[in-house]
Amino acid sequence: MADIRHILFKDFAVLQRGFDLPKKDMIDGPFPVVGSTSIIGYHNEYKIDPPGVVTGRSGSLGFVQYIRDKYWPHNTSLWVKDFKGNFPRYVYYYLQILNLQRFNSGAGVPTLNRNDLDTLEVAVHSVPTQRKIASILSAYDNLIENNNRRIKILEKMAQAIYREWFVNFRFPGHHKVKMVKSELGLIPEGWEVSTVQKIFEITGGGTPSKKVADYWEDDTINWYVPSDLTAHRPMFMDESGNKISELGLRKSSARLFPAYSVMMTSRATLGVISINTSEACTNQGFITCIPNKKYPLYMLYYWLHGNVEKFISLGTGATFKEITKGVFKKIKILVPPEELSIKFENTVTPINHQVL
């Protein structure tokens, strides 16, 4: 097509590593500090004028952000230093379709080396067409943002019910139940203190060898990596970015788990939680929890959400924290009577089905 140019990525946009700014050095101010997947704080100084396009450099890859204000790109990110005359909003959308996770060059922590992109050939529209495309996609983005706001309200409603019943102990009929002492403090009579390993099953993940094409070519099984979750942090995940074959599953330490389990990232960006809507497996960066009658799906989901800070505090690692399955399964957990768990599930399921 005459409207499309085939050029090298370096002639389309120039990416630059962000600037160091330790948390302890942040001075509260009006300017967002943009990390690999989100705004991680605010500072009294900025580095870059808008508009900005930022993507992850270290830890989490593939998520692209459009910044409308003066900002400070963090050293965990890459920001577009030069749009090369292209329309910034178009560049923002274009980066999203490049599947940047595939350029991971880190052995442990996912890392995107901008130099690896420079020689990539890209097909780019003329600037007038870029503006039209960006305008159409922006309209869809506005609809999505409105829907996301609605979803967040629904999620907060269900989470508030969980906290009221299982944290504040104001569950239906609570006034008829006396409080008794336990190793976790005062709890309602009839509730039990136990450990994760005694209450629900957990499983880990693995990665088939990238050197064996047969493990990846007949890609029928959802295989999640942390960036699938960290990019958007959805409550439900329908599909993973990468898939593996049944042979790849058998020849690795990845373990298949049922639909409507609860996946939690266990390293680097620790504590991002999502529910898979179809059978799936993960790489090593997860602890996946399998619901049951004692801890049904949504009760398990909100228990995990409510304890992320604890999981992070139990994590080890100098650069990026990781919580092991061995540590996780020994965590103390409060177990209400089964009938109350079922009542909660019946109460919040209609709310959460509106999010699906």
The mean per-residue pLDDT over the stretch 87-101 comes to 90
Q: Give the pLDDT confidence score for residue 256 in this predicted structure.
A: 96
pLDDT at position 2 = 58
Structure confidence at residue 109 (pLDDT): 64
- Kindly report the pTM of this predicted structure: 0.68
Mean pLDDT score, 156-180: 95
Q: Is the pLDDT of residue 185 over 60?
A: yes
Q: Find, among 69, 235, 228, 259, the residue nearest to 150 by Cα.
A: 235
Given a contact cutoff of 8 angstroms between Cβ atoms, the answer to whether 271 and 297 are in contact is no
Tell me what pLDDT residue 61 has: 78
Q: Which of 14-18, 39-43, 120-124, 215-219 has the weakest average pLDDT?
A: 215-219
Q: Which token pair is 59?
A: 């830890």
Q: What is the pLDDT of residues 272-317, one digit of tens each?
A: 999 999 999 999 999 999 999 999 999 999 999 999 999 999 999 8
CATH number assigned to the domain with residue range 8-100, chosen from the 4 options 3.40.50.720, 3.90.220.20, 3.20.20.80, 3.40.630.10:
3.90.220.20
- Mean pLDDT, range 24-44, rounded to an integer: 92
Equal CATH topology for 8-100 and 148-352: yes
Residue 333 pLDDT class (50, 70, 90 cuts): very high
Nearest in space to 302 (alpha carbons), one of 192, 170, 159, 193: 159
Taking a C-beta distance cutoff of 8 angstroms, is the pair 251, 285 a contact? no
Q: In this predicted structure, what is the pLDDT of residue 106?
A: 59
Is residue 38 pLDDT above 70, yes or no? Answer: yes
149: Cβ–Cβ under 8 A, 6 or more apart, which residues? none
| Model pLDDT, residue 324 | 95
Instruction: Report phi then psi at 196, rounded to 5.
Output: -50, -45
Summarize the confidence of residues 78-86 as an average pLDDT.
96
pLDDT of 62: 77
Separation of alpha carbons 220 and 225, rounded Å: 16
The residue length of the chain stands at 356
The more confident residue out of 88 and 217 is: 88
Q: What is the Cα–Cα distance from 26 to 113, expressed in whole angstroms?
A: 26
Q: Quick one: DSSP state of residue 178?
A: -
- 127-166 and 338-352 are packed helices; what angle lies between their axes, rounded to 10 degrees? 160
Which CATH number does 148-352 carry? 3.90.220.20
**DSSP H or E segment with residue 232:** none
Residue 125 has pLDDT above 70, yes or no: yes
Cα(249)–Cα(257) distance, rounded to whole angstroms? Answer: 12
Q: What is the DSSP letter of 164?
A: H
Query: Which amino acid is present at 243?
Result: K
Q: Which residues of 155-192 are buried (b: 16+ CB within 10 A; e: fewer)?
A: beebbebbeebbeebebeeeeebeeeeeeeeebbeebe
Domain ranges of the chain: 8-100, 148-352
Tokens of 28: 């509260």
pLDDT digits 0-9 by tens, 238-270: 999 889 999 999 999 999 999 999 999 998 789
Mean pLDDT of 73-98: 94
Give percent helix, percent strand, percent coil of the chain, each to the nearest 5: 35, 25, 40
105: pLDDT strictly greater than 70: no
Average pLDDT, rounded, for the chain:
92
The pair of structure tokens assigned to 53 is: 């396009």
- pLDDT beyond 80 at 234: yes
Residue that has been written with the tokens 């009938």 in this structure: 339
| Residue whose entry in the numeric block shows the structure tokens 């089964």 | 338
Average pLDDT over residues 169-177: 95
36 touches 18 (CB < 8 A): no
